[in-house]
Structure 1
Amino acid sequence: MSTQGEETGRHESAVDPLGGVRAPHDPPVDVYLTGAVFLDIIFTGLDSAPVRGTESWARGMGSSPGGVANMATALARLGLRTSLAAAFGDDHYGDYCRDALERGEGVDLSASRTVPGWHSPVTVSMAYEGERTMVSHGHEPPPEEPEPAPRRPPHARAAVTALAPGGHAPWVEAAARRGTRIFADVGWDDTGRWDLGDLAQLAHCEAFLPNAAEAMRYTRTDCPRAAARALAERVPVAVVTLGAEGAYAVDGGSGETAEVPAIQVEALDPTGAGDVFMAGFVTGTLAGWPLADRLAFAGLTAALSVQEFGGSLSAPGWAEIAAWWRHADRYDDQPLARYAFLDRLLPASFRPGPLRRAVPTLGFGR
């Protein structure tokens, strides 16, 4: 297990997006997050959805840590020092997920724990025709175990949380009091209330990033842009993702707005695209970029991710970003001037290394 101060971010990224703002007494962690880690098994190359009573063969298969590990991986590959608090089973799957995150991606797991006798949650994802079908299995960690998130989380520049109606995570308020900038998304409200009053911890957030359907329901509006403006009255920055149309954001303090269209790509698998978008937006915010550049970068990273299969498998690093930008003039239908800020981020001498780190199959050993 790594130690927070010594090993966080030990796998250095080719580009440090925060290099221009780092100072000697900064927090040791750039981004803290907590949640459930799944073992994801992804079947690809299916011609159609599985049919009841038949056997389907997939032409490809990958495995990787999933769940909150999707975002942890996306943040780490963008060069942010990332700390994750999660529960891991003491089975082979738990060992594999720990090793992939800690040694493979450089994610700090010193706030995480291993639960004796508890098996890791598993999700099997089948990707076909740009969609996905998932089957999951898992149990809650034993109730006598402490919560994965410590009540006093590590000191970090930022933290990412998923809000839930009526939910209350004590660590969010504790982190905000220490100056950690809180970024939040939200899931579907199964209660049907769609009441912003149920999201009490929104008061501690710097940025809120729902999708258009969620934003309109919470604000009782019929336009995602109107929803973003309404949310900006509750949180400093509201970002509403518009799917194939891109994203729209409002800075509630300055009144600035920004809208960036989506990059048109052939989407193979949308798994984890929202996590990658969040990672890109957090990166740009911590680096102090203009609002429109943050939206553009988040959209670019998400677009690169959906061209590959899997969640954390497809999260792009700077090699993928540089490769796209180097050949971007091939895409005549893209608004490439919007991404000129990449020239400032990518050193002239930077050459993309090996692309993609998909694991072709499962293999365990002690």
Structure 2
Amino acid sequence: MPGQSGRGPGHTHPAAHPAPRPHALQTPRAALSRPLFDPLAAVREPGGPRYDVYLTGTVFLDIIFTGLDSAPVRGTESWARGMGSSPGGIANMATALARLGLRTSLAAAFGDDMYGDYCREELEAGEGIDLSLSHTVPGWHSPVTVSMAYEGERTMISHGHEAPPKARSAPGGTAAGGTAGPGAPGGAGEAADAAFDPDAPECPPPATACVSSLVPGRPQEWIATAAGRGSRVFADVGWDETGRWDLAALAELPHCEAFLPNAVEAMRYTRTDCPRTAAHALAEHVPLAVVTLGAEGAYAVDARTGETADVPGIAVEALDTTGAGDVFVAGFVTGSLAGWPLPDRLAFAGLTAALSVQEFGGSLSAPGWPEIAAWWRTTGSQDPGYARYAFLRRILTDCASSVPARRAVPTLGFRPPEG
């Protein structure tokens, strides 16, 4: 995805990120749970890419209601026992990657409103995500999703408008307009027409890896460009609204190193009735096929070596499943870039996803190393049933406690005290 702008993380063109409006609600700044170590330190090479991961897509404001006893009933009012707000859509994936210590670059359109200011601040200042390739669209309001979690499932309502097109400028400049429609991969809104930002820079920046959601019938030329420059491409896919479920419609699949659909998607694309059979069928089209099985875990097939891995899920009480798939992919990408064995990558991805569903929201529910270390100390290392996670012992040797990660809160923020 897009070309480098030369600005460091956390810096954008002044005109592309206008100063906050005087009366905008300001989120209190709190100390963040920064990665306690670099998971890629052992494999980084001098002069390597500036970014570990690049991605593009639509950022939503997610408003999540939890603690509902049942689905809303027509003509009645339901009260939720819990509520949270956080950036959503592609922000789920970007935050999950950043919290695992990967240097993350995101190209996205932000609305010229309080919601857009909030999402940008959370991602840029709060999570350390590089937004120098993102842009703000004047007069465009941010897409919003309301998610209702109950009985381990979620129901979503999203709203958004296509942003007015504008002439493209140089990466990080002021003229790029966001043509982001109502939907985003892996986020609360999942319409396929906004799986990437059409006004993101045409030439991706040098990055070790790229993450994308493939869209049937909608080529994303940047993926081929990124792969041609050496980036390792990891992709999932959303629901095929056309109903054709044709692998040939996923034009970028040959450029991907790994394809990570869920079980239903994998079986539909391969015309099989078993997710593991589907994984083997997909491995004929991509070097590494990973099929997520929900609470049952995940199954992977490495077409290059013939290796398979089957890791069961971790049983947890799910508060909100929003963004769990994104967190899984982020965990798998982290392990892949670090060079871990396939079973360890699969187990780590499942663990991060399991930890995420125990918190509100998509992006701000993503675990960082402190949460992972805490789970290992209090649960994983104490239960013989989790022996398969013993690989964490060598990874977490120097991992100490840290300030708790920021979480979704009922409001966007409080006004600072007067005086």
TM-score normalised by the chain length of structure 2: 0.82
Q: What's the CA shift for 1:364? A: 6.8
- Distance (whole Å) between structure 2 residues aligned to residue 229 and residue 257 of structure 1: 9
Amino acid at match of 1:25: G
SS of equivalent to 1:174: helix
In 2, Cα distance between the equivalents of 1:155 and 1:355? 29
Instruction: Kindly indicate whether residue 316 of structure 2 is the aligned counterpart of residue 265 of structure 1.
Output: yes
Match of 2:130 in 1: 108
The secondary structure found in structure 2 opposite 1:263 is coil
In the alignment, which residue of structure 2 is the partner of 1:7? 9
| AA at the equivalent of 1:287 | A
- Measured in 2, the distance between the counterparts of 1:20 and 1:325 equals 22
- The residue identity in structure 2 corresponding to 1:6 is G
**1-side partners of 2:162 and 2:388: how far apart?**
45
Give the one of 93, 102, 121 matched to 1:80.
102
1:215 corresponds to which of 266, 289, 292: 266
Q: Which residue of 1 aligns with 2:280?
A: 229
Aligned pairs, how many?
364
Amino acid paired to 2:396: L
Q: Which residue of 1 aligns with 2:186?
A: none
Pick aligned residue for 1:20 from 42, 58, 77: 42
SS in 2 for 1:6: coil
SS at 2:252 equivalent: helix
Cα-to-partner distance string for 1:257-283 (whole Å, 9 max, x where unaligned): 111000111112111010000000000
Which segments of 5 or more consecutive residues in structure 2 lack a partner in the other structure? 12-31, 167-176, 179-197
**Residues in 2 aligned to 1:40 and 1:4: alpha-carbon distance in whole angstroms:** 31
The equivalent residue for 2:250 is 199
CA RMSD of aligned residues (A): 2.1
2:157 to 135, 140, 143: 135
Determine the structure 2 residue equivalent to 1:346.
396
Question: CA separation in 2, counterparts of 1:349 and 1:207?
Answer: 29
Q: How far apart are residue 233 of structure 1 and its match? A: 1.3
**Residue 114 of structure 1: CA displacement?**
0.3
Deviations 1:177-218 (A, max 9, x none): 110100000111121211111111101000000111111111
SS in 1 for 2:353: helix
Superposed CA deviations along residues 8-62 of structure 1, whole A, max 9, x for unmatched, are: 6998511211011112211000000000100011122223322222222223221
TM-score by length of 1: 0.94
Structure 1 pair 182–273 and aligned structure 2 pair: CA distance change class (3 A): same
Query: For residues 283 and 385 of structure 2, what CA distance do their matches in structure 1 show?
Result: 27
Q: Helix, strand or coil for the counterpart of 2:39?
A: coil
Distance 1:331 1:354 in 2: 22
Equivalence for 1:60: 82
Q: Deviations over 1:292-338 (max 9, x none)?
A: 00000000000111112211121111111011111115875x73111
**Residue identity in the other structure for 2:282:** L
Q: 1:297 and 2:348 equivalent?
A: yes
Identity of aligned residues (%): 74
Does the C-alpha gap of structure 1 residues 335 and 149 become closer, same or farther in structure 2, counting only changes over 3 Å?
farther
CA separation of 1:117 and 1:170: change in aligned 2, threshold 3 A: same
**Structure-2 separation of matches of 1:196 and 1:11:** 40
State the one-letter code of the partner of 1:306.
Answer: V
Helix, strand or coil at the partner of 1:133: strand
CA distance in 1, matches of 2:287, 2:218: 21
Measure, in 1, the Cα distance between the counterparts of 2:284 and 2:121. 43
Contact 1:263–1:299 under 8 Å retained in 2: yes
SS of alignment partner, residue 83 of structure 1 = strand
Q: Which residue in the other structure is 1:252 paired with?
A: 303
Q: State how 1:83-94 maps to structure 2 within 5 Å.
A: 83-94=105-116
Q: Aligned equivalents of 2:6 and 2:143: distance in 1? A: 25
Q: Give deviations 1:67-110, integer Å, cap 9, x for gaps.
A: 00000000000000000000001100000000000000001000
Distance 1:329 1:112 in 2: 39
Paired residue type of 2:392: L
Whether 1:121 and 2:143 are equivalent positions in the alignment is: yes
Q: Secondary structure at the match of 2:234?
A: strand
Deviant stretches of 4+, over 6 Å: 8-11
Deviation at 1:346, TM superposition (A): 0.8
Aligned to 2:217: 166
Contact conserved, 1:34 with 1:85, CA < 8 A, in 2?
Answer: yes
Tell me if structure 1 keeps the 8 A contact 2:37–2:399: no
- Structure 1: distance between partners of 2:385 and 2:290: 20
The answer to whether the Cα contact below 8 Å between 1:266 and 1:307 also exists between their aligned partners in 2 is yes
* Pair 1:365–1:118, CA change in 2 (3 A): farther
Higher relative contact order (CA 8 A, sep 6+): 2
The answer to whether the 8 A contact 2:33-2:402 is kept is: no
